[in-house]
Amino acid sequence: MIPTEYYIFLGSGLFTIGVIGVLTRRNVLIILMSIELILNAVNINLVALSQYFKSVDGQVFAIFVITDAAAEAAVGLGLIIALFRNKETVNADEIDLLKW
């Protein structure tokens, strides 16, 4: 039996890597991939605590998180295609129409 803390440490590490990716990368596609990393870190914590409390509620929430990730990826990638068609770029810092 592995202590629950280990899973939470792993979740924190993966979450931090995802946050660094979202903040530092320019490519919008890789920013979306980093968001997937963050959601996976959350899922690790949900499953670990659901095992700790001996109930499946956390796993049901993890399934809803995966549903959200699928919806977010579909809409986000559709947005990237529309953006690339209009501005010919996938770099986050070149998308500055609302900046003045």
Partner 1 sequence: MLELITFIVLSVVALVAAVMVITRRNAVHSAIWLVVTLFAVGGIFLLQRAEFLFAVQIILYVGGITVLFLFVVMLVDIDVTLKQARFARQWQLALVTAVLVVAQLGYALYNHGQGLKLPDRPPGSAPALNTQAVGMALYQNYMLPVEIASVLLLVAMVGAVIMAKRKLE
* Residue 1 or 98 having the CB closest to partner 1: 1
Quote the CA–CA distance of 39 and 43 in Å, as a whole number: 6
* Residue 54 or 98 having the CB closest to partner 1: 54
Contact 7, 29 (CB under 8 A): no
- Could you tell me the CA-to-CA distances from 11 to 1, 43, 70 in Å, in that order? 18, 8, 20
Smallest distance from partner 1 to CB 38, Å: 10
* Residue 70 or 98 having the CB closest to partner 1: 70
Quote the CA–CA distance of 96 and 6 in Å, as a whole number: 42
Smallest distance from partner 1 to CB 98, Å: 17
